[in-house]
């Protein structure tokens, strides 16, 4: 029931406590394979092995966010239903003191919270594959460098599940995980190509509770209830994007009342203008992580991570390069 794989990741996280830029490579190497395949958001992309991951991501981050803590809200594991292996999922915030610039984002000297979600595939007692997404724009906003135009929903530090039961350290009933996957798959099936034929709120009500919460990424924001979700995100998003093509998921799993997936990418689409970014006929990729909480036979909460910086980069807008050139000021995207 995935307990051995969970133990591998828990030991990994325990050893990461107190790690520094100088010691992190050894910590990573102790828990991963030599050919560890690591995926990250823009500008990190794909890396292989502890040395590269330490050099490119963890070393610089630990230099900038000192006294780093992992504050988890969700932890579960499961068999990948669309690919190979058993994956362990962790979601929450990395919290530290923002003491040195990172990626051109100005240091504040204050507490900072960096949203994260990590998928780890475990095999024979080691981590062989990882997908880690951190919400870089969320950190930018905390530093006063908002890279986006006005959000359609609300920006905030996002809490964990309303039920406070997201840390699944113990085995869960098999039928509960099956029910969660069924709810997720039913929602994906309704989503389809946005052509189910029902009014949007009626479509959503088939698979979502009326008081659902959609915890979206920085730049889009969070929204509450089907009515407001339709008005503040789902409706505007569907109006802005077209020629959408689903490209699949790399991992999709569930345990108990929680489940999720990620893609590389999940889908491609063109857009008519979104978040202050001018319209583009480029078939841009979306790399997305979705985490869900099920209640009964419907979905109640959804945490979303979208690599929006990568989406913008594909259209020629290198937000991080602009940030590096104007440290300490607010970046305004093209309108």
Model pLDDT, residue 329: 41
The position carrying tokens 């999922």 is: 89
For residues 116 and 238, membership in a common domain is answered with no
Residue 335 domain flag? no
* Domain match, 66 and 197 both: no
Report residue 266's pLDDT band, with 50, 70 and 90 as the boundaries.
Answer: very high
Q: How many helices (H) and strands (E) does the chain have?
A: 11, 15
From the number of C-beta atoms within 10 Å of its C-beta (0-12, 13-18, 19+), residue 182 rates as: middle
What's the structural domain count of the chain?
Answer: 2
Do 222 and 115 share a structural domain?
Answer: no
The reply to whether 263 and 133 lie within a common domain is no
Q: Are residues 202 and 258 in the same domain?
A: yes
110 and 184 share one domain: no
Tokens 């024979």, residue? Answer: 124
Flag whether 165 is in a domain.
no
Alpha-carbon span 52 to 10, nearest angstrom: 22
Same-domain check for residues 134 and 184? no
Residues 181 and 313 in one domain: yes
Q: Are residues 199 and 102 part of one domain?
A: no
- The residues with which 122 forms a beta bridge, in sequence order, are 86, 127
Question: Is residue 157 assigned to a domain?
Answer: no
Q: Does 204 share its domain with 93?
A: no
What CATH number should be reported for the domain holding residue 126?
3.10.450.50
Residue 182 has pLDDT above 90, yes or no: yes
pTM of the model: 0.94
pLDDT at 332 over 50: no
Q: Does residue 274 form part of some domain?
A: yes
Find the domain containing 185 and state its range.
Answer: 174-321
- Cα separation, 323 vs 90, in Å, equals 29
In a domain? residue 166: no
Sheet-wide strand order for 86-98 = 46-48, 32-40, 126-134, 111-123, 86-98, 65-79
* Proportion of the chain above pLDDT 70, given as a percent: 96
Q: Is the pLDDT of residue 195 over 90?
A: no
């Amino acid at each position: 029931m995935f307990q051995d794989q969970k133990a591998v990741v828990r030991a990994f996280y325990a050893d990461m406590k107190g790690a520094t830029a100088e010691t992190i490579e050894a910590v990573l190497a102790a828990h991963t394979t030599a050919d560890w395949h690591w995926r990250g958001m823009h500008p990190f992309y794909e890396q292989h092995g502890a040395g590269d991951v330490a050099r490119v991501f963890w070393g610089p981050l630990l230099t900038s966010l000192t006294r780093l803590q992992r504050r988890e809200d969700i932890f579960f594991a499961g068999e990948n239903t669309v690919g190979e292996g058993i994956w362990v999922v962790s979601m929450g915030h990395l919290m530290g003191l923002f003491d040195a610039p990172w990626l051109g984002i100005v240091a504040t000297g204050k507490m900072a919270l960096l949203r994260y979600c990590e998928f780890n595939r475990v095999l024979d007692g080691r981590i062989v594959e990882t997908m880690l997404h951190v919400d870089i724009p969320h950190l930018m906003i905390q530093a006063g460098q908002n890279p986006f135009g006005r959000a359609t929903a609300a920006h905030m530090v996002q809490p964990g599940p309303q039920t406070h039961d997201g840390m699944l350290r113990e085995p869960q009933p098999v039928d509960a995980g099956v029910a969660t996957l069924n709810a997720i798959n039913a929602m994906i099936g309704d989503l389809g190509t946005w052509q189910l034929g029902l009014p949007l709120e009626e479509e959503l009500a088939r698979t979502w509770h009326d008081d659902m919460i959609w915890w979206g990424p920085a730049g889009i924001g969070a929204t509450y209830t089907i009515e407001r979700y339709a008005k503040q995100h789902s409706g505007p998003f569907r109006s802005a994007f077209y020629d959408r093509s689903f490209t699949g998921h790399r991992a999709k799993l569930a345990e108990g009342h929680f489940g999720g997936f990620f893609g590389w990418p999940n889908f491609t689409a063109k857009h008519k203008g979104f978040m202050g970014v001018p319209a583009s006929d480029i078939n841009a990729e979306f790399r997305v992580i979705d985490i869900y909480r099920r209640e009964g036979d419907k979905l109640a909460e959804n945490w979303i991570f979208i690599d929006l910086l990568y989406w913008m980069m594909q259209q020629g807008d290198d937000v991080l390069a602009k940030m590096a050139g104007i440290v300490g000021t607010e970046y305004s995207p093209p309108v």
